[in-house]
A and B are shown apart, each in its own frame.
Chain A
């Protein structure tokens, strides 16, 4: 019940294209959903985050879409660039006890030049 399922495992996109990564959860007590970007040899870095009281959040080329009824959320990267090539993780925290991040399994994004 505390899992966050992420897909696809890997994604190849042409430069300028849209990258879409999806996550699903079961536990309705999750109330904070961040996305992290990780480059090889580095720790994860927070990209963008959303709470379930909004359906969409946009920051630059990155957008989170959130569907509370379906218990799904997704990351859209517009105008994807080779520099976006990295591993992306969705995550979630539980309301009232947000002491840990529960991560998805990751998506390795490759943006071809």
Chain B
């Protein structure tokens, strides 16, 4: 079985541009969460989607948005990129809507903003 897959693996963008990151959860998993991991720090929660609805949002500006599709895959969009948005963006999937069961992370998308 395939794990959580994220695309692209690496991305370089210029300040002010927009970016879309993609995530496919493990088959049968209905919950997708997004995390931002700045170098040398722990992941920070951005969004959680369950059954195509936003169920949680972290302390990130409105430049960050996401959505979940009927097949449970998800996209994370970031507008008006800043240098500080450079990070590893992680997607996690779980069967249910709560993270107190096993959550599986993808390898992440490394975003560099120049």
Q: Is the beta-carbon distance between A100 and B100 smaller than 8 angstroms? A: no
In Å, the complex CA distance between A13 and B97 comes to 38
B44 contact set on A, CB distance < 8 A: 103
In Å, the complex CA distance between A43 and B106 comes to 5
Q: Is the beta-carbon distance between B48 and A100 smaller than 8 angstroms? A: yes
Q: Is the beta-carbon distance between B42 and A43 smaller than 8 angstroms? A: no
Q: Is the beta-carbon distance between B42 and A106 smaller than 8 angstroms? A: yes
Interface size on A, residues (CB 8 A): 24
Picked from A6, A45, A98, the residue with its CB within 8 Å of the CB of B105 is A45
Q: Is the beta-carbon distance between B55 and A101 smaller than 8 angstroms? A: no
A41 within 8 A of B: yes
A102 within 8 A of B: yes
B33 within 8 A of A: yes
Q: Is the beta-carbon distance between A99 and B98 smaller than 8 angstroms? A: yes
Q: Is the beta-carbon distance between B102 and A42 smaller than 8 angstroms? A: no
Most chain B CB within a 10 A radius of its CB, from A44, A93, A106: A44
Q: Is the beta-carbon distance between B102 and A46 smaller than 8 angstroms? A: yes
A73 within 8 A of B: no
User: Min CB distance, A86 to chain B, in Å?
Assistant: 14
Given contacts A46-B103, A99-B98, A105-B41, 10 further A-B contacts (CB under 8 A): A31-B100, A32-B99, A44-B43, A89-B43, A99-B99, A100-B45, A101-B33, A102-B45, A103-B42, A106-B40
26 contacts between A and B (CB under 8 A): A31-B100, A32-B99, A32-B100, A43-B90, A43-B105, A43-B107, A43-B108, A44-B90, A46-B104, A49-B102, A89-B43, A93-B99, A93-B100, A98-B99, A99-B33, A99-B48, A99-B55, A99-B98, A100-B33, A100-B45, A100-B58, A101-B43, A101-B103, A103-B42, A106-B40, A106-B42
